[in-house]
């Protein structure tokens, strides 16, 4: 996959929800690596399973959901073998997570200081005085003005951008090796988003963390990630380094996403949407999940599911077109760079 050492290796992860209507395979055999010190982006549309993948890594899946199988190796150790007690020592300590909505993920009845101190108390056994000192350092680190004053404020007294900074301060309190950021800026305005993304990037460099960035925004991916996994219907369909993914996308779904994106940096005559909609879980295609919407699909695609295969240069694709078994047009061009006028 990559030449770097990986801090996280997820192999064939499967998480399902058991509902009255039957089993919903939210994450269906997901495999990816997070190279140490780098940022992996997991990108996909609603229902692709990207958030459930993140929750599965920290084993935050609750009833009726269940991790059915696979392996989540964090520094060589399979997290799925750990007991809940052992897992608790990892959460917030070695692996931390920040969520989309800072208001609902901060406890409204505790002050900012109490919430950051909790981390130090649980993982490092620090008392109030030492904890507060460290909390102030953290708030300073994430660029919160007059941190001493903020320590005694409640989440509702802070703006959206400030709350997200507090969340980041909490997540980074114990200097984790891996930060999972689930849509960390989706609820924020774009000028605030720019601040938060830059902050995460700077802190990553300072602390040497690895980051898993979960997002639906391809702009955020291009800007913050080193590697990208594109998910569709619970599966990874393409894994590549960020330049390759944007300059030479290969999976028809990735290409479709890029072509439907209205750009703010240049003029486009027309958008080329992906036809149809994401299939519902109870009518999931048996072959390639994307086949019903794919402009290149053949009988093979509808009948048999392709595997996620290495195609060289650390890139992986789940598509029949790039295999020897492809029986459609041999010269098929999935992606042709458009001629554009950059502004």
Q: Which DSSP letter does residue 294 get? A: -
Nearer to other proteins, 82 or 261 (CB): 261
Contact flag: residue 190 with other proteins (CB under 8 A): yes
Interaction residues for other proteins, span 94-153 (CB under 8 A) = 140-143, 145-146
In the bound complex, what is the minimum distance in angstroms from residue 164's beta carbon to other proteins? 11
Contact flag: residue 341 with other proteins (CB under 8 A): no
In the bound complex, what is the minimum distance in angstroms from residue 234's beta carbon to other proteins? 15
Interaction residues for other proteins, span 86-105 (CB under 8 A) = none
Contact flag: residue 205 with other proteins (CB under 8 A): no
Q: How many CB atoms lie within 10 A of CB 233?
A: 22
Q: Kindly provide the b/e burial profile for residues 259-294, where b requires at least 16 CB atoms within 10 angstroms of the residue's own CB.
A: beeeeeeeeeeeeeebeeebbebeeebebbbbbbbb
The two tokens of residue 108 are 């409204």
Nearer to other proteins, 77 or 247 (CB): 247
Spatial separation of the C-alpha atoms in residues 131 and 178, rounded to whole Å:
22
Contact flag: residue 46 with other proteins (CB under 8 A): yes
Spatial separation of the C-alpha atoms in residues 169 and 38, rounded to whole Å:
20
Strand segments (E) across 185-241: 210-215, 227-232, 235-241
Contact flag: residue 220 with other proteins (CB under 8 A): yes
Contact flag: residue 159 with other proteins (CB under 8 A): yes
In the bound complex, what is the minimum distance in angstroms from residue 217's beta carbon to other proteins? 7
Question: Which listed residue (39, 193, 204, 254) binds other proteins by CB under 8 A?
Answer: 193
φ, ψ dihedrals at 238, nearest 5° = -150, 135
In the bound complex, what is the minimum distance in angstroms from residue 37's beta carbon to other proteins? 18
CB 302 within 8 A of CB 291: yes
Count of chain residues binding other proteins (CB under 8 A):
59
Question: Which listed residue (77, 124, 133, 194) binds other proteins by CB under 8 A?
Answer: 194
Question: Which listed residue (197, 288, 291, 297) binds other proteins by CB under 8 A?
Answer: 197
Nearer to other proteins, 174 or 242 (CB): 242
Spatial separation of the C-alpha atoms in residues 106 and 169, rounded to whole Å:
12
Contact flag: residue 246 with other proteins (CB under 8 A): yes
Question: Which listed residue (102, 161, 176, 281) binds other proteins by CB under 8 A?
Answer: 161
Spatial separation of the C-alpha atoms in residues 132 and 143, rounded to whole Å:
17
In the bound complex, what is the minimum distance in angstroms from residue 131's beta carbon to other proteins? 22
Interaction residues for other proteins, span 278-297 (CB under 8 A) = 278
Contact flag: residue 313 with other proteins (CB under 8 A): no
Question: Percentage helix, strand, coil, to 5, in the chain?
Answer: 35, 25, 40
Spatial separation of the C-alpha atoms in residues 75 and 5, rounded to whole Å:
9
CB 291 within 8 A of CB 301: yes
The two tokens of residue 213 are 């960035």
| Binding stretches for other proteins (CB under 8 A) | 45-46, 140-143, 145-146, 157-162, 189-195, 197-199, 202, 216-224, 242-243, 246-247, 256-265, 267-268, 270-275, 277-278, 343
């Amino acid at each position: 996959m990559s030449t770097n050492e990986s801090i996280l290796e997820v192999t064939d992860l499967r998480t399902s929800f058991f509902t009255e209507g039957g089993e919903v395979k939210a994450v269906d055999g997901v495999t990816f690596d997070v190279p140490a010190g780098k940022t992996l982006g997991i990108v996909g549309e609603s229902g692709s399973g990207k958030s459930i993948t993140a929750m599965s890594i920290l084993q935050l899946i609750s009833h009726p959901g269940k991790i059915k199988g696979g392996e989540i190796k964090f520094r060589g150790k399979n997290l799925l073998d750990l007991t809940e007690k052992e897992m608790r020592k990892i959460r917030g300590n070695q692996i931390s997570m920040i969520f989309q909505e800072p208001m609902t993920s901060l406890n409204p009845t505790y002050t900012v200081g109490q919430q950051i101190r909790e981390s130090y108390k649980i993982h490092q056994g620090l008392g109030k005085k030492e904890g507060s000192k460290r909390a102030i350092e953290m708030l300073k680190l994430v660029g919160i003005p007059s941190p001493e004053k903020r320590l005694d404020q409640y989440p509702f007294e802070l703006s959206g951008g400030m709350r997200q900074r507090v969340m980041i301060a909490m997540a980074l309190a114990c200097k984790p090796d891996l930060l999972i950021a689930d849509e960390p800026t989706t609820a924020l305005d774009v000028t605030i988003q720019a601040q938060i993304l830059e902050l995460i990037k700077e802190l990553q460099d300072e602390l040497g963390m690895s980051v898993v960035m979960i997002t639906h925004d391809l702009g955020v991916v291009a800007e913050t990630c080193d590697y990208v996994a594109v998910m569709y219907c619970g599966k990874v369909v393409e894994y590549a380094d960020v330049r390759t993914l944007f300059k030479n996308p290969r999976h028809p779904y990735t290409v479709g996403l890029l072509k439907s994106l209205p750009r703010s940096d240049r003029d486009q005559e027309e958008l080329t949407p992906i036809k149809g909609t994401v299939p519902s879980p109870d009518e999931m295609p048996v072959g390639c999940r994307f086949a019903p919407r794919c402009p290149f699909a053949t009988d093979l695609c509808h009948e048999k599911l392709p595997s996620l295969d290495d195609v060289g240069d650390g890139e992986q694709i789940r598509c029949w077109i790039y295999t020897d078994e492809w029986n459609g047009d041999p010269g098929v061009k999935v992606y042709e760079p458009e001629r554009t006028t950059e502004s």
